[in-house]
A and B are shown apart, each in its own frame.
Chain A
Amino acid sequence: MITKFRGKKITSMLGILPETVGLFDDEVNNYSFPPKQTMRLKKIMGYDRHRLAKDTSTVSDFAVYGLRYMLENKWIKKEEIGAVITVTLCPDHFVPHISNIVQDKCGLDTDVMCFDIAQGCCGFLVGLMQAFMVLDHTDKKVLLINGDVLSHKVSKKDRNDYPLIGDAATITVLENGGDDEIYYEMHTDGSRGKALIIPAGAFRMPSNPDTGVMADLGDGNFRSLDNMTMDGSEVFNFVQVEVPPMLENAFKREKLTVDDFDWFLFHQPNRFMLQKLAEKAGLPQDKLPMNLVENFGNPSGASIPMTAIFNCRDSLINSENECCLSAFGSGLAWGVVFMNIGKLDYCDLIESDL
């Protein structure tokens, strides 16, 4: 789908991190590979440290923590909020939904529209579209919550996935205003969806004692059917094949070049994949932050706002920025958005005790 929106803007962004830091150096011996081999990946992939939520902490905990921070610090008033949209792969429960829990715990009015969307890597872009559409029907503000605690679903003995996963949430405030046009493009190929999958735990394969059995399925990593598993080669190849032409065609369609953008704020799978993508698409690496995995881990759908907050905070507060946002991964799905982000009212990254 390719479409455009007009007159919508982001006015604040908040990132919420857990306080626990997992160090790659400490985890090397968890994996069934020689430590020397594993350590070589540190620089190449950008593995260094990642944030890990407590076993008892959920996405709603991070969202409530963040929204209370915003309310207490007068970023927003309760009566200004028209909708809460949560995008996550990690629901607290199948029912009720996280947005409803947030509405209750933060004391929002009952006329606030609340709904959740299940999305992973492209969660910010999918959430943006929903927020834009809701804004067509309200003068109030929309809160877009992106968050995941995927460390709970990744085996600590899985070198493919555990070093790069990070837990976090973001809250983005959107509202009507301005006259800027927003370019929006999203693609899906469900036939390749099993490249990134949590096989058990929902209705197709409910969790049971058997699905929790850890085993090496042939690649040297120990995981169970309850754990997330990723075919790294398939995902890498998918990104290299699909994303560069999507970007090139979008630039042509909009008569833009890479020089027209201040920032390329992309999903953060790992440093190697982003470097290869930047090389292939001819993107300037000084405008494309690649450092989220090494500082916090990849927080799935929260990766783009986290990247923006961590790397571009001052720029986003003090000036207008032409941004190219791109996400790619679970689904499989890939997309790109061109939008101006700037002169934000508030932008911050906070640490919770969750």
Chain B
Amino acid sequence: MSAEHQVHDYYMNIGPMFTDPVARMLYAEIASIEEQHVTQYECLVDPDETWLEKWLLHECNEVYTYWSCLEQEQNPRLKALWDRFVSYELGQMHFVMGLMRQIERRDPEELLPASLPDPIKYESQRDFVREVLANEVDLRTDGTEIVPRDRESALSTRYRDQVNSAGSPSELVAADYHFTPGTELARADLAIH
């Protein structure tokens, strides 16, 4: 959810810096999609979870993320940086653990895993991304369900028709773009060898 918030903020902040109306519309469209993601993740939040539980798990997640960086970093200067950040996050996690004992009178260990899972793999994810794209690009919705294209609900189609009634900036941009080494200026004549 934090990541979705962050990308939403990014598109909302950077879009208006462009003067090109097409770029502005594209960023506004993407921002609205990111907002949908934020809402979807918010819906998944356990309503019975306390603020301290959220905070503690957040800190734990930060430890895990930086630890993953630390485990895989080859550059000694950056490794030292990740090491320091893991220490910071561990300190903050222990602070929240203390608050949980003091305020909620609970043992934070109950919420924390005994060991961390394998580190997040900071490596090429191209195959994964291609696979997801190929398998999911045609998925649509039917109420709360994710369904194949032919089972898309009429409500979903109506929503899309309404939202895109004046055209879709992303389709406008994508229609005119095809990856070419050296940019599309290099396309019409000599191909790059």
A-B interaction: no
A residues apposed to B, CB below 8 Å: none
- B residues near A (Cβ < 8 Å) are none
